[in-house]
Amino acid sequence: MLDLQKHFMSQLTNELGIKIPNLGIAKGRLKNKKVLVILDGVDRSVQVEAMAKEASWFGLGSRIIITTQDQKVLNASGINHIHKVNLPSYNEALQMFCMYAFGQKDPKDGFKELACEVISLVDSLPLGLRVMGSYFQGMSEKDWTEALPNLRAHLDRDGEIASILKFCYDALCDEDKRLFLHIACFFNYEKVDMVEGCCLAKCFLDVRNGLRVLAEKSLISTNMDWGTIEMAKLLVELGRKIV
Give dist(CA 109, CA 100) in Å, integer. Answer: 16
Contacts of 184 (CB under 8 A, 6+ apart): 231, 235, 236, 238, 239, 240, 243
Phi and psi (nearest 5°) for 32? -110, 10
Q: What is the pLDDT along the chain (243 residues), one digit of tens a residue?
A: 677 777 777 777 777 777 777 777 777 778 888 889 888 888 888 888 888 888 888 888 989 899 887 788 888 888 888 888 777 899 999 999 999 999 999 999 999 999 999 988 887 778 889 888 999 999 999 999 998 888 877 764 444 677 778 888 998 999 999 999 999 999 998 989 888 887 788 788 889 999 999 988 889 988 877 889 998 877 888 899 899
Burial of 235 (0-12, 13-18, 19+ CB in 10 A): buried
Helix (H, G, I), strand (E, B) or coil at 21: coil
Q: Which residues of 112-141 are buried (b: 16+ CB within 10 A; e: fewer)?
A: eebbeebbebbbbbbbbbbbbbbbbeeeee
Contact indicator for 112, 141 with CB cutoff of 8 Å: no
pLDDT digits (tens, 9 = 90+) for 31-90: 888 889 888 888 888 888 888 888 888 888 989 899 887 788 888 888 888 888 777 899
pTM attached to this predicted model: 0.63
Inter-residue contact 161 to 241 (CB < 8 Å):
no
Q: Are 66 and 74 in contact (CB under 8 A)?
A: yes
Give the C-alpha separation, 202 to 207, whole Å: 9
pLDDT of residue 157: 44
Predicted confidence at residue 160, as pLDDT, reads 63
For helices 112-122 and 90-101, angle between their N-to-C axes, nearest 10 degrees:
110
Residue 173 has φ and ψ, to the nearest 5°, of: -75, 165
For the chain, the distance separating the N- and C-terminal CA atoms, rounded to the nearest angstrom, is: 29
Alpha-carbon gap, residue 237 to 235, rounded angstroms:
5
**Cβ–Cβ under 8 Å, residues 138 and 213:** no
pLDDT of residue 115: 95
Which amino acid appears at position 70 of this protein? D
Contact present, 204 and 179 (Cβ < 8 Å):
yes
